Amino acid sequence: MNIDIQANGIPAHKDVHRFVACRTDLALGSMRDQVGLVSVFVDEACEDSETRCRVLIRPSAQPDIIVEGRNANLYAAIHHTLDDAGWTLADSLMRQQSEFIHQQFELIDDQFTRAQPSGLTDRAA
């Protein structure tokens, strides 16, 4: 997984980069193996003196996920936006897995229905 960090109006400080890397790792957890790129853009030149954080997650077999958050505190904006992005990715992966399992059960049900002898009927009907 590659992490790309871009900042506008914020000094490129090593602490910010370390914080983004750590929070990304925590937010994605075991899902990090399914992600090719995480791009974090932090913009301090936002209205109401808030810091805006945008996160783009590019999973291997899913559409891109883009999450945006704002907070008066730089680190809180990064923290909350990365957490939201992690939850969004988890939801997307669970939905994909659920659809796959549903398709597998439909295939099994179709095979079972075709394998029954024609003289048998379903008594529950």
Query: In this structure, what CATH number is given to the domain that contains residue 49?
Result: 3.30.160.100
The Cβ-side half-sphere exposure at 113, using a 13 Å CA radius, reads: 6
**Residues 14, 4: Cα–Cα separation, whole Å:** 14
Alpha carbon of residue 14 to chain centroid: 25
pLDDT band at 119 (very low <50, low <70, confident <90, very high): low
Residue 44 in contact with residue 9, Cβ under 8 Å? yes
pLDDT for 104 equals 78
Q: What amino acid occupies position 27? A: A
Q: Quote the number of domains for the chain.
A: 1
| Domain extent for 27 | 2-115
Domain assignment present for residue 125? The answer is no
C-alpha–C-alpha distance, residues 42 and 40, integer Å: 7
Q: Does residue 122 sit within a domain?
A: no
- Whether 83 maps to a domain, the answer reads yes
Q: Is residue 62 part of a domain?
A: yes
Cβ(72)–Cβ(49) below 8 Å: yes
- Assess if residue 19 is contained within a domain: yes
Global pTM value: 0.74
pLDDT tens-digit series, residues 25-64: 999 998 888 898 999 999 886 667 788 999 999 998 789 9
CB 55 within 8 A of CB 81: yes
| Residue 106 domain-assigned (yes or no) | yes
Q: How many angstroms separate the first and last alpha carbons of the chain?
A: 52
Q: Is residue 123 part of a domain?
A: no
Residue 120 domain-assigned?
Answer: no
